[in-house]
Amino acid sequence: QVQLLQSGAEVREPGASVKVSCKASGYTFTGYYIHWVRQAPGQGLQWMGWMNPNSGGTNYAENFQGRVTMTRDTSFSTAYMALTSLEFDDAAVYYCARGDSSNWTPKFDYWGQGTLVTVSS
């Protein structure tokens, strides 16, 4: 069965960076886009961008350009999302989600369990 298993909760100070991992299993990792979505406490979903695990190609939402980097390690079927220069507003649950097999359109059929990132001084 398809599963996306994310790394555990993180606590960071303002100005620091965080890197969240997302290990895929039950399907061909390089065959589907991976998207990242975050949800601040009590707030809605915010799309952050996607990565093509086959090519390594990426596209980031304008709000995160310059601060976010999405990478992968195909040997371990794992995707990563790194966010730098953290601010208090970056405190959220970060989700990875499997996208479409052929393009970047929003069809997120499997989701990780979420990783809570706390920003605290």
Partner 1 sequence: QSALTQPRSVSGSPGHSVTISCTGTSSDVGTYNFVSWYQQHPGKAPKLIIYDVLKRPSGVPDRFSGSKSGNTASLTISGLQAEDEADYYCCSYAGTYNSVFGGGTKLTVV
Which residue, chain included where needed, has tokens 């190609």?
A: 57
Q: Which residues pair with 51 in a beta bridge?
A: 34, 58
Polymer length in residues for the chain: 121
Site for partner 1 in 52-91 (CB under 8 A): 59, 61-62
Minimum gap (Å) between residue 106 Cβ and partner 1: 4
| Alpha-carbon distances of 88 from 91, 94, 101, 112, 117, rounded to whole Å | 6, 14, 35, 23, 10
Considering only 17-25, 71-79, 82-90, 99-107, which stretch makes contact with partner 1 by CB under 8 A? 99-107
Considering only 7-15, 22-30, 45-53, 66-74, which stretch makes contact with partner 1 by CB under 8 A? 45-53
Helix ranges restricted to H, 1-121: none
Task: State the residues that interact with partner 1 by CB under 8 A.
Answer: 35, 37, 44-47, 50, 59, 61-62, 95, 97, 104-109, 111-114
